[in-house]
């Protein structure tokens, strides 16, 4: 079936949810800056941002805890253009992709969790992001912004969050009040 894009009533803007994560070089500051920078992307604005959360790393455990959050964007950028813009932000934050493992430490990770109601499965971009239903650090902040959002094939964000407790996660109060 041809995917169609959910547009809001007033413009050509699509609602997208972005997962943010960092565990290097002042993680909460990295996330706070990334929120501002995403809001400054062309044809894009931030509609909402979650609190910050602290979570244990997925995969290799010999790395610092992560700070995670989710942003709700309204954007006119096509999915691959948005992905490219997010990669540029990761690079501007000093992210090195070369010798880190897939789940290695990183200064900034920006994943497109959901883009309207588009489903895509290509090597470069999978939508919705395939790890959403398994990751506490995505589901806790996403449930703040979109509890009734349905992740295709998995159910609502709220129900998924209620069943998902790994990796260990807690609210990061200090940074959330900055
Ligand atoms: P991860 O986020 O899985 O830890 P990376 O950030 O290094 O790993 O991303 C690896 C690749 O995943 C990227 O080069 C990107 O092309 C691809 N990718 C596939 N789907 C998505 C998505 N929904 N959001 C962000 N990247 C994605
Ligand atoms: Mg990523």
Residue-wise pLDDT for 101-157, tens only, equals 567 788 999 999 999 999 999 999 999 999 999 999 999 999 999 999 999 999 999
Q: What is the pTM of this model?
A: 0.91
Classify burial at 21, counting beta carbons within 10 Å of its beta carbon; exposed 0-12, middle 13-18, buried 19 or more.
Answer: buried
Most ligand 1 atoms within 8 A of CB, residue of 86, 124, 151 to mutate: 124
Considering every ligand atom, which ligand is closest to the CA of 113? 1
Question: Using CA positions, which residue lies closest to atom 19 of ligand 1?
Answer: 125
Closest C-alpha to ligand 1, atom 14? 124
Residue nearest to atom 26 of ligand 1 (CA): 111
Domains and CATH numbers, the chain: 14-173 (3.30.70.560)
Cα(96)–Cα(90) distance, integer angstroms: 9
Mark whether 49 is an active-site residue. Answer: no
Residue 100: the pLDDT is: 53
How many other C-beta atoms are found inside a 10 Å radius of the C-beta of residue 157? 28
| pLDDT tens string 31-63 | 999 999 999 999 999 999 999 999 999 888 889
pLDDT > 90? residue 22: yes
Dist CA 20 CA 73 (whole Å): 13
pLDDT of residue 105: 80
* Structure confidence at residue 160 (pLDDT): 98
The angle that helices 79-92 and 27-39 make with each other, rounded to 10 degrees, is 140
**Which residue from 160, 164, 123, 142 is spatially nearest to 15, judged by alpha carbons?**
142
């Amino acid at each position: 079936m041809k995917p169609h894009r959910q547009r809001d009533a007033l413009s050509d803007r699509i609602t997208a949810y972005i997962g943010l994560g960092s565990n290097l070089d002042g993680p909460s500051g990295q996330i706070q800056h990334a929120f501002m920078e995403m809001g400054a992307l062309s044809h894009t604005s931030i509609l909402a941002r979650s609190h910050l959360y602290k979570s244990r790393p997925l995969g290799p455990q010999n790395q610092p805890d992560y700070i995670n959050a989710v942003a709700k964007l309204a954007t006119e950028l096509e999915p691959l253009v948005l992905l490219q813009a997010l990669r540029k932000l990761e690079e501007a934050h000093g992210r090195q992709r070369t010798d880190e493992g897939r789940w290695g430490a990183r200064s900034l990770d920006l994943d497109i969790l959901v883009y309207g109601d588009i489903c895509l499965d290509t090597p470069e971009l999978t939508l919705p992001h395939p790890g959403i239903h398994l990751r506490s650090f995505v589901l806790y902040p996403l449930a703040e912004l979109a509890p009734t959002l349905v992740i295709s094939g998995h159910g609502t964000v709220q129900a998924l969050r209620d069943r998902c407790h790994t990796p260990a996660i807690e609210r990061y109060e200090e940074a959330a009040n900055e």
